[in-house]
Amino acid sequence: MNVLVVGSGGREHALVWKLRQSPRVEKLFCAPGNAGISALATCVEIAATAIEDLLAFAKREGVDLTVVGPEVPLTLGIVDRFEQEGLRVFGPRRNAAMLEGSKVFMKSLLKKHAIPSAGYESFTDREEALRSVEKLGAPLVVKTDGLAAGKGVVVAATVEEARAAVDLFMKEKAFGEAGERVVVEEFLRGEEASFLAFTDGETILPLPSSQDHKAIFDGDQGPNTGGMGAYSPAPVVTPEVQRQVMEEVMYPTVRALAAEGCPYKGILYAGLMIENGVAKVLEFNCRFGDPEAQPLLMRLKGDLVAVMEAVIDGRLAEVSLEIDPRPTVCVVMAAGGYPGPYAKGKVIHGLARAGQHPDVVVFHAGTFRQGEDVVTSGGRVLGVTAVGDTVADAIARAYGAVAEIGWDGCYYRKDIGKKALGR
């Protein structure tokens, strides 16, 4: 069969890497892809948001399955459009993808259906938002309603920081239309975890737990990013927590979406805050996480195509997931200055040496080929991912490969996976 993956990041490289292992896949395309993906698939110069161009390509090339990586094309309705033309596509339709596309939609759905989450208020008027901040006091969380590539969330330790976040989103319009409406939310204490599962709208098949590291600096300091690393499993998600999340979060959310006329098929990703063994929802994403996809897909055994087709056909109950019991760790290597302004076009050295390390895969995110060189083209550049017999072993393997790689201004966190060691 012919398969098309939409997107160009580390998540999409991981998807391509896993799909390439399927005995059923003959031709594998990625639009637009990156330098690392080009070694495994034919990269096509079509933007992930150019839905009509992607549709025309899929029809022309006889694509049997399209896998949508990023959130923006999902919220633009790529799945609806492909289905209208009779094409098979993995991901939620536009109305269901609003679970990620609008935080106000998500929060109101959770409130209506009594799914555990933080208290909140939403505002389209800046002065009203500022008054709410003053009334609630700190700490609290300020979020853009719309998509902001993982950066539209400010955890404010002081009222001044919260006011600055409101102004950043609503006055300075740092994220454009995404910040025209903001959510001011109760601050939840605890430890974060990511919980991803396949669902066909009825059956839910969870992947192993994982934990993202969103802040730019060690010790979870500094502004939020799209993710600076991840590991799986996350010890904070005990068997008891997993049961609670399935019973009180995942199944109720899938049922709630169906009740609202938004049946959900695809990957459902709950960002959780866990305190004293109880999880509450921080956010939902409607696709694989990035960087969580890298360590999770390295642990997933078997044919990913079979799982995705079962989701599309509504027969996920017939499928089971086989998981490698060994832990995995992904360290993101970023451009200096990220998540703020950063330079592009820096030549990356050491990729071949790093790629020779056993039990390590170097997933590309923001890269492209320039002649014989691979150069940087994004804020998050690489996701160096390793599997090990223990978490400590996986961490050592990942950082051993990271040490082989460099470019002018390269930056990465030194403490990915440390919380797991502490447990």
* Mean pLDDT of all residues in 178-205: 95
Write down which residue in 274, 293, 323 finishes a domain. 323
Percent of the chain residues topping a pLDDT of 90: 95
pLDDT at residue number 303: 97
Residues 148 and 199 reside in one and the same domain? no
**Range 198-218 average pLDDT:** 97
Residue 107's pLDDT is what?
A: 95
Buried b (16+ CB within 10 A) or exposed e, 20-31: eebeebeebbbb
Same domain for 314 and 335, yes or no, is no
pLDDT score of 241: 98
Write out pLDDT tens, residues 295-324.
Answer: 999 999 999 999 999 999 999 999 999 999
| Cross-strand partners of 141 | 155, 185
Q: Looking at the predicted structure, is the pLDDT value of residue 224 above 90? A: no
Length reported for the chain: 423
Lowest mean pLDDT among 3-17, 141-155, 191-205, 249-263: 141-155
Boundary (domain end) residue, out of 307, 323, 339: 323
- Together in a domain, 50 and 63: yes
Predicted pLDDT of residue 149: 79
The residue among 233, 300, 249, 286 whose CA lies nearest residue 91 is 286
Answer yes or no: is 101 within a domain: no
Residue 150 has pLDDT above 90, yes or no: no
Smallest CA-to-CA distance from 150 within 175, 129, 133 is with: 175
Centroid of chain to Cα 418: 21
End-of-domain residue from the set 323, 353, 377: 323
Q: Are 355 and 255 part of one and the same domain?
A: no
Range 258-262 average pLDDT: 96
pLDDT at 77 over 80: yes
The pLDDT value recorded for residue 7 is 98
Q: According to the model, what pLDDT value does residue 422 have?
A: 79
For residue 343, what are the domain limits? 328-422
| Any domain includes 363 | yes
Number of domains the chain contains: 4
In tens, the pLDDT along 277-297 reads 999 999 999 999 999 999 999
Query: Is the per-residue pLDDT at 264 higher than 90?
Result: yes
With H, G, I as helix, E, B as strand and everything else as coil, classify residue 64: coil
Q: Whole-structure pTM over 0.75, yes or no?
A: yes
Q: Is the Cβ–Cβ distance between 193 and 274 less than 8 Å?
A: yes
**pLDDT tens, 346-384?**
999 999 999 999 999 999 999 999 999 999 999 999 999
Distance between CA 35 and CA 345 in Å, rounded? Answer: 13
pLDDT over 90 (residue 151): no
User: Residue 390's Cα: distance from chain center in Å?
Assistant: 24
What is the reported pLDDT for 325? 98
Is the pLDDT at 423 greater than 80, yes or no?
A: no
User: 62 in a domain, yes or no?
Assistant: yes
pLDDT tens digits, 408-421: 999 999 999 999 98
Orientation angle between helical segments 251-259 and 94-101, nearest 10 degrees: 130
Say yes or no: 54 and 77 in one domain. Answer: yes
